[in-house]
Amino acid sequence: LEPRRIAAVPNVVLDVVADGESSVTAPVPLAGKAAHSSPLQPDRFTRDDSSSTASSQPPAPRRNPVEGDPGTAMENYNYMKKPANALARRGPHGASEGDETAKQQKDDDDEDDDNDDTASAFMTVLVKANLDDTESQVTLGDIYRGGIGVPQDLAAALMWYQKAADKGHARAQYYIGIMYDQGWGDLKKDSTKAFEWFFKSSIQGLPEAQFQVGRAYTVGDGVEQDLPKAMGWLHKAAEQGHAYSQFSLAAAYAEGQGVPKDVRKATAWAMKAAEQGHVAAQRLMGLMYEIGQGVPKDIGKAREWYLKAAVKGNEDAKRSLQRLQR
């Protein structure tokens, strides 16, 4: 069969032969350009796919890598914390070298095994993504966005997300929206494009995207302000358990913004968010219990909620606790 050439990152290719299960036959240089750090926490790369055909025992590194050597691809995967150990295994030390040395060698070998497994899993995802597997494309987007085991490369992340988003993948569409909303990497901040991608994702039911659509309608960011539409989208996300949407609804009902003022509904939504650990909602519940708004006045419960928020660094909650102690 003629080898198929596939791209790991822009301008870098990988030869594979598609005959049954995919097999890696060429090096994949993974070093991408450094980019600005992501304000979001990256998804952990935890995929465990035993179908990878890449070798988990790479050969010793070469100064001039040979084209077509799958081991070289492993060398270039810098997730390994100690690649030299992984690529050039040593035999166990004798007892004469000391128990500590032997223990350290065993720990290194165990770590190398984990690194080999991770590199093998990465290569499996890479091959699948190049063969148009949507979930693998999203996973690569996550890896490059967060710099998980490879240099962070937002251009590569966008490329892989785009491939999945064009096929209707909701989370990929959401992350493209985030990248435009915040102007990550070389992307110019574009609120209109961000809203378009958030909306595509939101109509598929992703609560994070529904929250962003609600936020955009609330403040008129990338779209004309429309408070009734904003409340509609926030309700959709809040009903799926999205804490930020729940707190936004609490604030809206408390202030009568886009909805009739309703203290009981404000309290109910604030409680849902607070129970999920939303710090501002926890502080708000403390205030409501302190003054008896929407709930019976209860200083003990007020202290409990203020304390939950205070230990997470909320300064207003800290001041409220000090006030109650006087």
Domain boundary among 155, 187, 210: 155
Claim to verify: residue 268 and residue 233 sit in the same structural domain:
no
Claim to verify: residue 7 and residue 123 sit in the same structural domain:
yes
* Confidence at 97, pLDDT banded by 50, 70, 90: low
pLDDT of residue 122: 81
Amino acid (one-letter) located at 297: K
Claim to verify: residue 214 and residue 275 sit in the same structural domain:
no
Instruction: Tally the residues of the chain.
Output: 326
Could you tell me if 40 and 157 are in contact, meaning their C-beta atoms sit under 8 angstroms apart? no
Could you tell me if 154 and 184 are in contact, meaning their C-beta atoms sit under 8 angstroms apart? yes
Claim to verify: residue 206 and residue 173 sit in the same structural domain:
yes
Claim to verify: residue 150 and residue 107 sit in the same structural domain:
yes
Closest to 142 (Cα-Cα) out of 73, 36, 44 = 44
Ordered strands of the 23-24 beta sheet: 4-9, 12-17, 23-24
Q: Is there a domain that residue 20 lies in?
A: yes
Q: How many domains, the chain? A: 3
Grouping H, G, I as helix, E, B as strand and the rest as coil, residue 34 is coil
Q: Which residue has the tokens 């219990």?
A: 289
Could you tell me if 139 and 45 are in contact, meaning their C-beta atoms sit under 8 angstroms apart? yes
For 233, the domain range is 168-240
Claim to verify: residue 23 and residue 113 sit in the same structural domain:
yes
Mean pLDDT in residue range 182-196: 95
Q: Is there a domain that residue 250 lies in?
A: no
Q: Pick left, alpha or beta for residue 292 (phi over 0 → left; psi -120 to 50 → alpha; otherwise beta).
A: left
Tens digits of per-residue pLDDT, 148-182?
Answer: 888 899 999 999 999 999 999 999 999 999 999 99
Q: How far apart (Å, rounded) are the C-alpha atoms in residues 134 and 260?
A: 43
pLDDT of residue 326: 79
Q: How far apart (Å, rounded) are the C-alpha atoms in residues 15 and 62?
A: 19
CATH of the domain at 177: 1.25.40.10
pLDDT of residue 274: 98
Q: Is there a domain that residue 270 lies in?
A: yes
